[in-house]
Amino acid sequence: MSETTQPRQEVADSMELVLVLTTEAGPSEAETLAQALLEQGLVACVSILPIVSFYRWHGQTTRSEEVQLLLKTHPRCLEALHQTVMDLHSYDTPEWITLRGLAHGSYGDWCLDQLMGTISKEGGSPLTPSTRSESEDPAG
């Protein structure tokens, strides 16, 4: 029996996605930043999680209750997203960590639908919007 060269279905039905991690001082700052990024079409979704961070700052070990933002975007939106986060962030030194991955199936389609306007402004090859039903909630 020979191996097939066909990609597995879930890999074939995926889109490139970037997950950006940043933190804010509290829920209200996180929500303000999330709303601005959504309104500008730079992210498809923002998840907000309460966290406790331990780090060294100015030579001292620090403990802070913060809010982690998980920003989901397309690689073509990344430069504009970075600039906007740096401009709007409440911290002088905001966390900015990017993780590249794939979003599969209808969630990937939904992310792409949310970012279509921004992606087309950034140039590059055209992307096709999905045929996903508008009644489906992607749930973050």
pLDDT in tens, 25-67: 999 999 999 999 999 999 999 999 999 999 999 999 999 999 9
The fraction of the chain above a pLDDT of 90, given in percent, is 61
pLDDT for res 86: 97
Q: CB of 32 within 8 A of CB of 79?
A: no
The pair of three-digit structure tokens given for residue 25, joined into one six-digit string = 């001082």
User: Alpha helices, DSSP H only, in the chain?
Assistant: 9-12, 27-39, 78-88, 105-122
pTM of the complete model: 0.76
55 — phi, psi (to 5°)? -160, 165
Q: Please report where in the chains the tokens 């979704």 appear, as a residue.
A: 45
15 alpha-carbon distance from chain centroid:
13
Q: How many helices (H) and strands (E) does the chain have?
A: 4, 4
Q: Is residue 139 very low, low, confident or very high in pLDDT (cuts 50, 70, 90)?
A: low
Q: CB of 31 within 8 A of CB of 48?
A: yes
